[in-house]
Amino acid sequence: MSSIDTSKVATSNRTDAATASKPGRAGSLATWADDRLGLASAMKKNLRKVFPDHWSFMLGEIALWSFVVLLLTGVFLTLWFNPSMGHITYEGSYDQLRGVGMSESMASTLHISFDVRGGLLMRQMHHWAASIFVASMMVHLLRVAFTGAYRKPRELNWVIGCLLLLLGTLEGFTGYSLPDDLLSGTGVRAADGFLKATPVVGTYMSFLLFGGEFPGESIIPRLYIIHVLLIPGILLALIAAHMLLLVYHKHTQWPGPGRTEQNVVGYPMLPVYAAKAGGFFFMVFGVIAIMGGLMSINPVWKFGPYDPTKVTAGSQPDWYMGWPDGLLRIIPTGWESVIFGYTISWNVMLPILILPPLMLVILMLLPFIEGWITGDKRDHHLLQRPRNAPTRTAVMVALMTFYGLAWAAGGNDIIAIRLDLSINQITYFMRVAIFLGPILAFWITRRWCISLQRHDNEKLLHGYETGVITRSPEGAYAERHLPINPTSAYTLTARDRDEVYTVGSDTDAAGVDAPNSRSEKLRAKLSSWMYSHNVQKPTRAELEEAHHHAEHEAELQAGLDHPVDGHQFDDHRLRDTTDVPLRD
Amino acid sequence: MRLLNRTAGRLSRHRRGPLAGLAVLLLGLVISGSLFTAFSPAQADNQPSETEQVAQGKELFLASCSFCHGQNGEGVPTVRDGYQLGPSLVGVGAAAVDFQVGTGRMPMASPGQQAPSKKVVFTDEEIDALAAYVASLGPGPAIPDESDYSIEGLSEEEREEAISRGGQIFLTNCTACHNFNGAGGAMPRGGYAPSLHGVEPKYIYEAMLTGPQQMPNFSNGNLSPEEKRDVIAYLGSLEETPEYAGFTLGGLGPVSEGLFAWLVGIGGLVGAAVWIASHTTRSNKSKVDA
């Protein structure tokens, strides 16, 4: 309907011809611009673009807005930061380090912190925003995974998102390494060790990165250009691609009456989402500003300049690098093998060089693996509730458990001193829990989801629990159930039945092996593993039977209705079932 | 003169009163006491002699320490080879006793990985006596004097240099266990390097000198007395410096920062998202657009 231009239609029903009135000043300016830029038609479409309303759809926005804060504060910091490893003596305002020799990058960081107006606030906002940027990408990722939003057609956007997470992490690492303080220097030294643990090419890679033996004089300028140009450039491009695909695919929505795979029910960009998203930007900015203003982060002046002979307790990377560090902390130290006189350090390779990239690959492949098992080639714009995909939900929770345990292991020393535990016992516990925890989490989550599915079916078939207990003449007690309203019933049943994939005959009519029979068998096995335990929604016949039964019950209880419900004197009785929201 | 006579006369009138004797007695006591305090030779007789102190210390030691350290402070081994109930105290010196007992670490409440600092159970005098007794067992470091660890006597410039030098020594020798902030850190098997916040300079000096529990011993050949003093000066300056950056979040480094990024940052912002989504738009039904 928006394709009909109503601006030239007469506003009255008089008989003489209508003419367009003379445009106002703003109107003529807009016309002038549109004649040259042609934005009107694009804007007309996009300003009316509809987004569905749900809090979990705004998690990615936290990442977007904290990235904007990162760009703003980052530009401020570049005005004073000097990425040089040139050696100077600090003569700034911070007493405890005056007269201490350090690199120019450390000195300029101290200068920003103590001698540039607002510099410390900007540094801390930049750092907090970075932590929140990566964290919000992760919660956004979890939302997308748990609701099945990564299914066709959004698999590639999922992959882009995973790459954004990887790049955000690398961007964070290169960023917090720049001040050349004791803590980050320890991190860079660790990174050097990881590079060198790579078989055959390790030493060459280390020499390439550091421009010679560690630490050399090149690493800070190189990290700087990676941090301010290379990765942000790729990040920006991928964010643009991520959002263009979002616009192209349109946003997913929760199922419900009136919501189909062909439409999007929600509010338009202008004015509703422009206001909401714009307001949310200021909230993100505000939270980051408050944190930057009130809460200390990375107090480099206490670490002092990097010096390979020094180290501090509590030397951890920022949180998003914490889980590989945790794996490194719990891996048995003796896992090394010597081949032709060369040491292969499995104890470094496994937790740092093998597992994290493997986890990333698994993450990126999730939608493709699921798509292959289900064989589902349809587009999906309606989301699934996590309980309605029990295996997927359980796989994600298992991955989260693995991540969480590794992450906690990365803070083992802090956990030990804060909770009065032995760091050794934590390590032993983690070595077992890292294997058992995900399995246990998978099993619990899947059974939990299936129970919730069963509960949904009970609500559909028997209604919801009213909390009204009736006593029969025989003395038996029973709780009355009332049917849920049609909207809730529609929403609960708006899901597909799971179909377990079964392989046809192994051989065709002529006795020739069917193509791909082995992979098809595997697929069937996985499909059965994924779906066979699920509870399917009731059939039409079952629902009708249940309704018939409910009506019969209601008839039986008709006479009892008045005296037993116990709500004569309040307003509960006045409500009918349509007022009762979907309860779960 | 007349006035004086009159006052004397008035006083004299009471000379046989019931309280007169008591008043004179009190006056006499006050005068003689004051005179004694003013003119008596320095209280040599009140201060217990070295020998007396050692004897008193030994009694206290036998009652409170000997169960683990042995009746002569020789240490008590357990049946497991290399393990002991309490180590030998021969040669640990008065400084070790002053540190362990003065911070409440000794006597230990229960055996454990490490003796925690707790309420001090002995008076200063008793601690001195114990220290004197243990010092008598063999030569060891003495309790440091305040001039050993104070930078009061230095000029402003020297003080600043001492502090920044102390900071670098601290980062080289201490932060590996005690953390960059002196907030403490974990040691193997449930041990820990305690927080250095609010610890008296004397005890920090003694700890460096004697290496209590899992701490290494920083002898004077290792860290000169001036260097020990500088470390203490740096720690003092940290406590005096305002926290420019805001709440330190425990001063534990990136772990607590990450915790707060999630709890406050993501927690707050997800809350904001929920709030925004729940306050959805309402179209005004009375106004119908063309």
- pLDDT for residue A12: 65
Q: Least CB-CB distance to A291: which of B188, B264, B280?
A: B264
Nearest CA in chain B to A285: B269
Compute the distance between CA of residue A497 and CA of residue A532 in angstroms, rounded to an integer. 11
- pLDDT for residue A98: 93
Whether residue A436 lies inside any domain: the answer is yes
**Hunting for tokens 């039964």 — which residue is that?**
A549
Contact (CB<8Å) A61/B273? yes
Whether residue A354 lies inside any domain: the answer is no
Nearest CA in chain B to A53: B277
Contact (CB<8Å) B280/A53? yes
Compute the distance between CA of residue A33 and CA of residue B128 in angstroms, rounded to an integer. 90
- pLDDT for residue A1: 45
Q: Are residues A131 and A209 in the same domain?
A: yes
Confidence band, pLDDT 50/70/90 cuts, at residue A478: confident
Whether residue A189 lies inside any domain: the answer is yes
What's the average model confidence in pLDDT over A158-177? 97
Task: State the SS3 of A194-225.
Answer: HHHCCCCCHHHHHHHHHCCCCCCCCHHHHHHH
Q: Which residues of B touch A128 (CB under 8 A)?
A: 261, 265
For residue A494, the Cα-to-chain-centroid distance in whole angstroms is: 25
Domain count within chain A: 2
Look at the alpha carbons of A530, A534, A536, A537 in this order and tell me if their dihedral is positive or negative. negative
Domains along chain B?
Answer: 50-137 (1.10.760.10), 146-240 (1.10.760.10)
Two tokens at B44? Answer: 């040599």
For an interface test with B, which of A423, A425, A427, A429 has the most B Cβ atoms less than 10 Å from its Cβ?
A: A423
The CATH number covering residue A288 comes to 1.20.810.10
Compute the distance between CA of residue A351 and CA of residue A333 in angstroms, rounded to an integer. 12
The range of the structural domain enclosing residue A138 comes to: 56-252+275-314
- 3-state SS of chain B: helix, strand, coil percent to 5? 55, 5, 40
- pLDDT for residue A178: 97
Confidence band, pLDDT 50/70/90 cuts, at residue A115: very high
Sort B7 into a burial class: Cβ within 10 Å, 0-12 / 13-18 / 19+.
Answer: exposed
Compute the distance between CA of residue B193 and CA of residue A312 in angstroms, rounded to an integer. 12
Q: Which residues of B touch A322 (CB under 8 A)?
A: 254-255, 258
Whether residue A337 lies inside any domain: the answer is no
Which of A267, A289, A314 corresponds to the end of one domain? A314
Beta-strand ranges (E) seen in A95-223 are 101-103
What mean pLDDT is reported for chain A? 89
Q: For the residues of A416-430, what is the DSSP string, one character each?
A: HHHTT--HHHHHHHH
Cβ atoms A315, A183 nearer than 8 A: yes
Our CA-based measurement puts residue B77 at a distance from the nearest CA of chain A, in whole angstroms, of: 25
ipTM of the complex: 0.87
Q: Are residues A292 and A389 in the same domain?
A: no
Confidence band, pLDDT 50/70/90 cuts, at residue A559: low
Q: Least CB-CB distance to A98: which of B160, B177, B259?
A: B160
Whether residue A269 lies inside any domain: the answer is no
Whether residue A434 lies inside any domain: the answer is yes
Contact (CB<8Å) B237/A279? no
Contact (CB<8Å) A295/B264? yes
Q: Which residues of chain B have pLDDT under 50?
A: 286-290
The pLDDT tens digits of the residues spanning A560-577 come to 544 444 444 445 444 555
Q: Which helix (H) or strand (E) element contains residue B173?
A: helix B156-173
**Hunting for tokens 């904290």 — which residue is that?**
A66
Cβ atoms A185, A330 nearer than 8 A: no
Share of chain A above pLDDT 70, in %: 90
Q: Least CB-CB distance to A310: which of B175, B247, B274?
A: B175
| DSSP SS3 for A505 | coil
- pLDDT for residue B43: 54
Compute the distance between CA of residue A238 and CA of residue A415 in angstroms, rounded to an integer. 37
Two tokens at B220? Answer: 């004077």
Q: Which residues of A touch B265 (CB under 8 A)?
A: 128, 131-132, 135, 287-288, 291
A310 pLDDT above the threshold of 60: yes
Q: Are residues A107 and A214 in the same domain?
A: yes
Beta-strand ranges (E) seen in B91-161 are none
Compute the distance between CA of residue A464 and CA of residue A452 in angstroms, rounded to an integer. 14
Whether residue A195 lies inside any domain: the answer is yes
Nearest CA in chain A to B163: A96
Q: For residue A501, what is the DSSP state? A: -
Q: Which residues pair with A267 in a beta bridge?
A: A51
Confidence band, pLDDT 50/70/90 cuts, at residue A30: confident
Q: Which helix (H) or strand (E) element contains residue A50?
A: strand A50-51
Residue type, B194: P
| Angle formed at CA B51 by CA B46 and CA B56, multiple of 5 degrees | 75
The pLDDT tens digits of the residues spanning A209-260 come to 999 999 999 999 999 999 999 999 999 999 999 999 999 999 999 999 999 9
Q: Which of B190, B249, B126 is nearest to A302 (CA)?
A: B249
- pLDDT for residue B4: 64
Whether residue A321 lies inside any domain: the answer is no
Q: Are residues A308 and A447 in the same domain?
A: no
